[in-house]
Amino acid sequence: MIETELGTLRRSHYSDEINSSMDGTQVTVMGWVLTVRGHGNISFATIRDKNGDVSVVAKKGDCPDDIREKISYLKAHSSIAITGNVKSSEKAPSGYEIVPTELRVFSEVEKIPPFEPIAKTVKNIDTRLEVRPIDLRRKVLQHIFNTRSLVLKSIRSYFNDQNFVEINTPKMIATATEGGAALFPIFYYNKEAFLAQSPQLYKEQLTMSFEKVFEIAPIFRAEPSRTNRHLAEAISIDLEEAFIDYNDVMSRIEEIIKISIKTVTDYAKDNPDAEFTIPEIPETIPQYSYDDLVDKMQKAGAKTEWGDDLYPSNLKKIGLEGFYFIKDWPLAPKPFYVKDSKANPKISESFDLMFGDLELSSGSTRIEKRNELAERMKNKGMNTDAFEYHLGAFDYGVPPHAGCGIGLERLIMALTGTENIRDVTFYPRDVDRLTP
């Protein structure tokens, strides 16, 4: 029997729930056609669902002729359901195959995609992104995004275990939090507003109420960068905690990285075809001061001066690899809320977490006194009146606090060895792409 509507039919098993010991058991599987081969009186098909692949063998005499014939004409990516009997088979990749007795074709392919669903690599990433839902059926990307989901789950579990409160902060804001050069302006009723560059000011305020908070949400940066590591919309893992400083935040990040690596390692063990390059992590992530690295760069012949940014090309010259922190950055270029070092007012209590030359996280101890914060704003030419909604909170006992943001996409790049940030993003947004 061949039908086209779901009706009351429902899946009985996912691909990974079936095995050769179920010989003779009737099952219903649903998914997308991966491959089809026809050889006269026998048709072979592979069906892919969210958990893996199922082999289907329609042989004359074993299944209805109309089903065997229909299967032989199906195109890759067609959405179908098959009800049939499990048959153990040493030739099948999973040790079993399904002999169909019923077929439902929910949607047949009308347009052939520009690449095969079994393709391991496709040279032109723009070609893939134009048909992203199809691209994401490829196994190599399925592994990346399944891992991404598990890493997020493990990080949330860490925060919950550590008694953090998950928060949600506004993404439409009235003022810049990280400086005005990389803002997306929007029209908000009858006034100008902006997409949030970070939840910074709100998460600081919320330490007054909850002490330990975290948020996993989008941030927006209007940086006109065309690289394999920049996005206009990214997911940031933000944490903020009261009664600590930046050293404590670095310790928390170290714990998060270790948990994340374990999650990816466990996934790779269960899925040996996931060809990840998983980094190693030492017992303690090394910490280098900004001063130390500038000195190393100068000795290596790099043209850099104290106060300059530490560009990736210069970091490569001194051979830093794996995870490491760069701490105690110059205060001047840092955002207005970053606290200065009492030992040297030109230095900030701040850090970046690096993986090779890739920045994964940035954090700092924050200013907790209103007069200091207002003075810093004025020194940066900011209008303190526009930030009164934030400054006013500092009249009511803001605790010492510190925090950071971790870029999820860049973290997944580091954990899996993925080179292009678009391959760890469901629907990338950058300077050239606003669709699909």
Boundaries of CATH 2.40.50.140 in the chain?
2-107
Residue 236 near residue 433, CB atoms below 8 Å: no
Boundaries of CATH 3.30.930.10 in the chain?
134-424
CA distance 308 to 159: 35
Topology of domain 2-107, per CATH?
OB fold (Dihydrolipoamide Acetyltransferase, E2P) (2.40.50)
- Amino acid letter, 114: P
Instruction: State the CB neighbour count (10 A cutoff) for residue 187.
Output: 8
Instruction: State the CB neighbour count (10 A cutoff) for residue 337.
Output: 21
Instruction: State the CB neighbour count (10 A cutoff) for residue 344.
Output: 12
- Residue reference for tokens 């691209």: 135
362 is in an annotated binding site: yes
- Residue reference for tokens 């009308």: 110
178 is in an annotated binding site: yes
CA distance 414 to 281: 12
- HSE value, Cβ hemisphere, 13 Å, CA-based, for 135: 22
Q: What is the pLDDT of residue 114?
A: 86
CA distance 365 to 342: 12
Residues paired with 415 in a beta bridge: none
User: Long-range pairs for 424-427 at CB < 8 Å and ≥24 separation?
Assistant: 424/144, 424/145, 424/148, 425/231, 425/234, 426/132, 426/136, 426/145, 427/132
Give 90's DSSP letter. S
Order of strands across the sheet with 233-242?
A: 165-166, 212-220, 233-242, 401-407, 358-365, 350-355, 323-327, 287-289
Q: Are strands 26-39 and 42-49 parallel, antiparallel or unpaired?
A: antiparallel
- Residue reference for tokens 């690599």: 121
Residue 98 near residue 37, CB atoms below 8 Å: no
Q: What is the pLDDT of residue 117?
A: 76
368 is in an annotated binding site: no
Q: What is the pLDDT of residue 208?
A: 97
233 is in an annotated binding site: no
Q: Are strands 52-59 and 42-49 parallel, antiparallel or unpaired?
A: antiparallel
Q: Where are the alpha helices (DSSP H) in 2-138?
A: 65-73, 125-130, 132-135
Measured at the CA of 427, the angle between CA 111 and CA 164, to 5 degrees, comes to: 145
410 is in an annotated binding site: yes
Q: What is the pLDDT of residue 178?
A: 65
Neighbour-count burial for 106-117, b at 16+ CB within 10 Å, e otherwise: eeeeeeebebeb
CA distance 217 to 236: 6
366 is in an annotated binding site: yes
Residue 170 near residue 196, CB atoms below 8 Å: yes
222 is in an annotated binding site: yes
* The CATH number, out of the four listed (3.40.50.300, 3.30.420.40, 3.40.50.1980, 3.30.930.10), of the domain defined by the range 134-424: 3.30.930.10
Give 322's DSSP letter. S
Q: Are strands 191-195 and 172-173 parallel, antiparallel or unpaired?
A: antiparallel
Helix (H) or strand (E) holding 373: helix 370-379
Phi, psi of 325 (to 5 degrees): -100, 140
- Reading the block at residue 427, the tokens are 């629907």
Q: Are strands 172-173 and 358-365 parallel, antiparallel or unpaired?
A: unpaired
409 is in an annotated binding site: yes
pTM attached to this predicted model: 0.93
359 is in an annotated binding site: yes
> Could you report the average pLDDT of every consecutive run of 10 residues in the chain (436 residues)?
92 96 96 91 95 95 94 93 95 92 94 82 90 92 97 98 98 78 89 94 97 98 91 97 98 98 97 95 96 95 92 90 97 96 96 97 98 95 92 95 98 97 97 93
221 is in an annotated binding site: yes
Q: What is the pLDDT of residue 189?
A: 95
CA distance 355 to 418: 13
Which residues, including other chains, have CB under 8 Å from residue 123's CB and lie 6 or more apart? none
Helix (H) or strand (E) holding 378: helix 370-379
Helix (H) or strand (E) holding 404: strand 401-407
Measured at the CA of 430, the angle between CA 169 and CA 261, to 5 degrees, comes to: 65
